[in-house]
Amino acid sequence: MAGALQYLESQRNVRPDLAEWYASLADLYQRKLWHQLTIKLEQFVALAVVQAGDALIQLYHNFITDFETKINLLKLAHFTVVVSRQYTEKEAAVSYLEGVIEKLHATNDMRIEEPILYVKMQIAAFKLEKGNQKECKKLLEEGRTSLESMTDVDPSVQASFYWISSQYHKCHQEFAEFYNSALLYLAYTEVDSLSETFKLVFKNFCFPLICPFSALLGDNIYNFGELLAHPVIKSLIGTKAEWIYHILQAFNSGNLGLYHELCGVHNAALNAQPALTANEKKLLEKINILCLMEIIFSRPSEDRTIPLSVIADRTRLSIEDVEYLLMKSLSVRLIEGIIDQVESRVHVSWVQPRVLGIPQIKSLRDRLDNWLGKVRTTLLSVEAETPDLMAS
């Protein structure tokens, strides 16, 4: 205890701007108020002024180690991961975190699975940064197995796994896998909880741009509603990259005309994205499929027998190409139904559910209102024609 207090006292003299913080930490430590001390430490390590240099490394080794097994172990894992990022050498950071894992195992606590997984995911991140993708993949596979065996997992642990998973797939240009991991990361993360530095990278480029690109280019991704609803994607509005937000909306609504219009207006920006220009044919096929799904969705369930000429008119395709489009949609189970080539029509019995946008929800509301109107009319008709039956 004396050593920990001496360290805090020395820091009060070295860092007078943080004197009150160190005094508060010392007070809570002396009173053994571990929960309150944990909260204070969370606030302290989040300060930008202590994020530079090795201040947090010194804090851990000279202060936190004195009571680390007395506090919530997941909170300890959070602290150690933040500390690890201050090491200039990745090997030293990995060695430090491996030591933390050994300490967690030594506690024999029943709750060590989550903190260990959280720490391992940071090790996986360091491995990936060093180009050791094989080790990163191994840790991710182990992490997935651990997650599947847990119940009621803390969101921060889930988020750490899906963040590293997204970065691994990004390195391999695996668009669909990146998108799925990124979407799950967003589901478990509050953007406002990120550090300012990470938030800047996160909002300015990483997720707002790469997520839409991966969604557009990923195989078998035909639902963008959840992504469009997330605040981080809406952060593109008002920036130079706002065009990608509108293109994503065009895809989500299957609006082929708007897509072609946006491609013309933002031609220079599109040409500056090699991944999009190289997959122009794939993008056109995807929006045609989404246009088809929108045609089906907009029709009442009792009116799902559609002439191929109607689809051809909306998608600007020939009848032969419409047949291919339908076969493609059937093969990836976006729809179920039967193509009648003799009558040149398709009967759709099922269409894949999607996260709906506001316009689509309004359309559903209007259809429901129309259905209620028909029910009311039918009821009044029955009452008028069979008054005796209704009275009984």
Residue 110: inside a domain: no
Q: Which residues pair with 251 in a beta bridge?
A: none
Q: Encoding tokens for residue 272? A: 């500056």
The average pLDDT across 159-177 equals 92
Q: Where among 255, 278, 301 does a domain terminate?
A: 278
**Choice between 136 and 273, residue whose per-residue pLDDT is larger:** 136
Contact 236/206 with Cβ under 8 angstroms?
A: no
Q: Encoding tokens for residue 392? A: 């009984």
pLDDT of residue 201: 44
Residue 272 sits in the same domain as residue 293:
no
Residue 308 sits in the same domain as residue 353:
yes
- pLDDT tens-place string over residues 174-216: 888 988 898 888 888 876 655 444 444 444 444 555 677 888 8
Q: Where among 68, 95, 127 does a domain terminate?
A: 68
Nearest-angstrom CA–CA distance, 317 and 324: 10
Q: In what order do the strands lie in the sheet with 305-307?
A: 305-307, 345-351, 335-340
Nearest-angstrom CA–CA distance, 332 and 321: 17
Q: Is the pLDDT of residue 380 over 90?
A: no
Residue 336: inside a domain: yes
Domain with 294 in it: what CATH number?
Answer: 1.10.10.10
Average pLDDT, the chain: 87
Band (pLDDT 50/70/90 cuts) for residue 49 is confident
pLDDT of residue 205: 42
Residue 219: inside a domain: yes
In Å, the largest CA–CA distance within the chain is 95
* Structural domain of 268: 169-190+197-278
**CA gyration radius, the chain:** 28
Contact 228/252 with Cβ under 8 angstroms?
A: yes
Residue 215 sits in the same domain as residue 311:
no
Residue 273 sits in the same domain as residue 294:
no
Q: Encoding tokens for residue 208? A: 């707002």
Q: Euclidean distance between the first and final Cα of the chain, in Å?
A: 87
pLDDT of residue 199: 46
Q: Identify the CA nearest to 8 among candidates 64, 54, 51.
A: 64
Residue 259 sits in the same domain as residue 315:
no
Name the one residue in this structure whose structure tokens are 């190409």.
Answer: 321
Q: Which segments of 187-343 are extended strands (E)?
A: 305-307, 335-340
Residue 246 sits in the same domain as residue 346:
no
Q: Where among 68, 91, 123 does a domain terminate?
A: 68
pTM: 0.74
Nearest-angstrom CA–CA distance, 99 and 93: 10
According to DSSP, the β-strands at 335-340 and 305-307 are unpaired
The average pLDDT across 41-67 equals 91
Q: Identify the CA nearest to 77 among candidates 48, 99, 44.
A: 99
Lowest mean per-residue pLDDT among 163-172, 263-272, 383-392: 383-392
Q: Which residues pair with 347 in a beta bridge?
A: 305, 338
Q: Is the pLDDT of residue 122 over 80?
A: yes
Q: Domain total for the chain?
A: 3
Report helix angle 73-84 to 155-171, nearest 10.
Answer: 30
Nearest-angstrom CA–CA distance, 201 and 120: 23
pLDDT of residue 193: 58
Residue 154: inside a domain: no
Residue 116: inside a domain: no
User: Count H helices, E strands: the chain?
Assistant: 23, 3
Residue 248 sits in the same domain as residue 300:
no
Residue 50: inside a domain: yes
Residue 222 sits in the same domain as residue 247:
yes
Residue 185 sits in the same domain as residue 269:
yes
| Three-state DSSP state, 350 | strand
- pLDDT tens-place string over residues 111-120: 899 999 999 9
Residue 307 sits in the same domain as residue 264:
no
Nearest-angstrom CA–CA distance, 118 and 127: 15
| Three-state DSSP state, 131 | coil
Nearest-angstrom CA–CA distance, 140 and 154: 17
Lowest mean per-residue pLDDT among 204-218, 257-271, 308-322: 204-218
Q: Is the pLDDT of residue 43 over 90?
A: yes
Band (pLDDT 50/70/90 cuts) for residue 297 is confident
Nearest-angstrom CA–CA distance, 223 and 215: 8
Residue 366: inside a domain: yes
**φ and ψ of 335, to 5 deg:** -140, 165
For a pLDDT cut of 70, what percent of the chain falls above it? 91
Residue 18: inside a domain: yes
Q: Encoding tokens for residue 97? A: 């975190």
Residue 305 sits in the same domain as residue 250:
no
Residue 206 sits in the same domain as residue 245:
yes
DSSP 101-159: HHHHHHTT-TT-HHHHHHHHHHHHHHHHHTT-HHHHHHHHHHHHHHHHH-SS--HHHHH
According to DSSP, the β-strands at 345-351 and 305-307 are antiparallel
Q: Identify the CA nearest to 42 among candidates 59, 54, 27.
A: 59
For a pLDDT cut of 90, what percent of the chain falls above it? 60
